Amino acid sequence: MAQYTLYCFAESGNAYKAALMLALAQQDWQAKWVDFFHGETRTDAYRKDVNEMGEVPVLLHGGERLTQSGVILHYLAEQTGRFSSHDPATRREILRWMFFDNHKFTSYIATLRFLLTFMKSGETEITNFMRGRAEGALDIVNKHLAGQDYLVGNELTIADLSMCGYLYYGDELGLSLAPYDFIEAWLGRIRSQPGWQAPYDLMPKAAG
Amino acid sequence: MAQYTLYCFAESGNAYKAALMLALAQQDWQAKWVDFFHGETRTDAYRKDVNEMGEVPVLLHGGERLTQSGVILHYLAEQTGRFSSHDPATRREILRWMFFDNHKFTSYIATLRFLLTFMKSGETEITNFMRGRAEGALDIVNKHLAGQDYLVGNELTIADLSMCGYLYYGDELGLSLAPYDFIEAWLGRIRSQPGWQAPYDLMPKAAG
């Protein structure tokens, strides 16, 4: 049995954040596929036994069961000694971008993709609203990356792994990253890390 | 000059999270009012000199300038020794609820209120969507609080201060908390803490 077990499915960018961390830190891990599209995360059993928040990712390690990608990334940084810092100010800066990611970046980008690609909603008032918010957040991140290689200084950290999670899904996003030069360059830098794999290569996907 | 300066405005539940922490921990702090409704957070000057993310709250303390309510709450917990824990598992559990708050709880509740109360959008597809997501998150928190007094065990922590931030705005929310008994009881417990004040009593509001 692998050291780490990650409840995930390949379409989940939040799960990808954790899977990418495990891959880049060259950890011994296995995926446990969750059948999100047939409602597994909404069942009583999943909410009772796996995650009351009804989400992936969930990480098992020893006796620990962790949820929320932000918590899992912090935990793996501690366990592996990779992609964080011992400096308190640097750690606060990492945490700052991870909260921004959860609140203003992934939240809109992931929801826009979910509606367009998986719910096949077509363009609606809602997707228009989400896209506007997503573009505002992309602008902020793009400006920030104009001055530095990674979100926090010039080293890859878990802040980058959190923020990039949904941006490797290409056309599924329903918005173009082309206007955001510095984001595209930054995604290229992460992609060139040893061990990097795209979401659909790193995690199991439903058959069919 | 006070020990802490908080950039805020009374309508911001995210600023309230930090202000409430300062009040409950009986810290020496002053508010610096931000004219959000006339676009101050969207100006180049604000983004350059105060917060590139274009948001409140921002906390000044000594030479530090901190943004994101989740970072500020962690920092104040460290500085004051209040509302957190030295136990790593407990700290992870606190962080878990704070990420959930940012991603799935405040994000929808605050946006619904913003559209209805400040943009006066009326009921739209967008508010309907936001309310559905908000109610899903409220259900999860309500179930969790059925078993315990506070989000993490039976002590007030910064996870509670984060999650409750928008819930004291009453009718402005555009949704009823009445179906969520355990949330209402929990809000009562926080309200009874020494030093508790409502958002409009704790922070400055625009004149008129």
- We report the CATH number of the domain holding residue B15 as 3.40.30.10
Its pTM stands at: 0.98
b/e A105-140 (16+ beta carbons within 10 angstroms → b): bbbbbbbbbbbbeeeeeeeeebbebbbebbbebbeb
Residues A98 and A79 in one domain: no
Which of A68, A193, A121 shows the shortest CA–CA distance to B102? A68
Residues B138-153 pLDDT 10s? 999 999 999 899 999 8
Establish if A17 belongs to a structural domain.
Answer: yes
Predicted pLDDT of residue A1: 86
Residues B35 and B116 in one domain: no
> In this prediction, what percent of chain A has a pLDDT beyond 90?
97
- pLDDT band, very low/low/confident/very high, at A206 (cuts 50, 70, 90): confident
Predicted pLDDT of residue A207: 65
| Distance in Å, alpha carbon of B136 to nearest chain A alpha carbon | 10
Residues A171 and A122 in one domain: yes
Task: Report yes or no: B158 at the A interface, CB cutoff 8 Å.
Answer: no
Q: How far apart are CA B61 and CA A138, in angstroms?
A: 29
Residues A25 and A42 in one domain: yes
- Scanning A1-60 for CB atoms below 8 A from B yields 52-54
Q: Burial level of B87, CB count in 10 A (0-12/13-18/19+)?
A: exposed
Residues A76-87 pLDDT 10s? 999 999 999 999
Which of B1, B21, B160, B151 shows the shortest CA–CA distance to B82? B21
Check which CATH number belongs to the domain holding A100 and give it: 1.20.1050.10
Cβ contacts of B126 on chain A, cutoff 8 Å: 125-126, 129
Residues A101 and A78 in one domain: no
| Of residues A74, A125, A143, nearest to B126 (C-beta) | A125
The answer to ipTM > 0.90 is yes
Establish if A32 belongs to a structural domain.
Answer: yes
pLDDT over 90 (residue A208): no
Establish if B22 belongs to a structural domain.
Answer: yes
Establish if B46 belongs to a structural domain.
Answer: yes
CB contact under 8 A, B68 and A100: yes
Q: Is A156 left (phi over 0), alpha (psi -120 to 50) or beta?
A: beta
* Pair of tokens at residue B91: 């700290």
pLDDT over 60 (residue A5): yes
Could you tell me which residues are beta bridge partners of residue A150? none
Q: Which residue of A has its CA nearest to B110?
A: A103
Cβ contacts of B142 on chain A, cutoff 8 Å: none
Establish if B51 belongs to a structural domain.
Answer: yes
Residues B95 and B186 in one domain: yes
Substitution target from A99, A124, A142, A166 for chain B, most B beta carbons within 10 A:
A99
b/e B90-124 (16+ beta carbons within 10 angstroms → b): bbbbbbbbbbbbbbbbbbbbbbbbbbbeeeeeeee
Helices (H), A5-155: 13-24, 44-45, 69-80, 88-100, 106-113, 125-145
Tell me the Cα Rg of chain A: 17
Establish if A10 belongs to a structural domain.
Answer: yes
CB contact under 8 A, A99 and B104: no
- pLDDT band, very low/low/confident/very high, at A37 (cuts 50, 70, 90): very high
Range of the domain at A126: 88-191
Q: How far apart are CA A92 and CA B73, in angstroms?
A: 11
Name, in order, each residue with C-beta under 8 angstroms of B199's C-beta and a sequence gap of 6 or more.
Answer: B10, B11, B13, B16, B19, B168, B169
> Cis ω on the peptide bond leading into residue B204 (within 30° of 0)?
no
Residues A138-157 pLDDT 10s? 999 999 999 899 999 899 99
Predicted pLDDT of residue B1: 86
Substitution target from B103, B107, B135 for chain A, most A beta carbons within 10 A:
B103
Cβ contacts of A103 on chain B, cutoff 8 Å: 68, 102-103, 106-107
Q: Which residue of B has its CA nearest to A95?
A: B71
Establish if B138 belongs to a structural domain.
Answer: yes
Going across the sheet that includes B29-33, the strands are: B29-33, B4-8, B58-61, B64-67
- pLDDT band, very low/low/confident/very high, at A135 (cuts 50, 70, 90): very high
CB contact under 8 A, A95 and B74: yes
Residues A66 and A127 in one domain: no
Residues A164-183 pLDDT 10s? 999 999 999 999 999 999 99
Tell me the Cα Rg of chain B: 17
Instruction: Give the residue-averaged pLDDT of A55-69.
Output: 97
Residues B65 and B109 in one domain: no
Residues B48 and B108 in one domain: no
Residues A31 and A120 in one domain: no
Residues A32 and A109 in one domain: no
pLDDT over 80 (residue A66): yes
Establish if A159 belongs to a structural domain.
Answer: yes
Per the structure, how many domains does chain A have?
Answer: 2
Residue-wise pLDDT tens for chain B (208 aa)? 899 999 999 999 999 999 999 999 999 999 999 999 999 999 999 999 999 999 999 999 999 999 999 999 999 999 999 999 999 999 999 999 999 999 999 999 999 999 999 999 999 999 999 999 999 999 999 999 998 999 998 999 999 999 999 999 999 999 999 999 999 999 999 999 999 999 999 999 976 5
Residues A59 and A145 in one domain: no
The answer to whether the CB of B130 falls within 8 A of the CB of A127 is no
Which of A175, A176, A100, A171 shows the shortest CA–CA distance to A141? A100
Predicted pLDDT of residue B206: 78
Q: Which residue of B has its CA nearest to A71?
A: B96
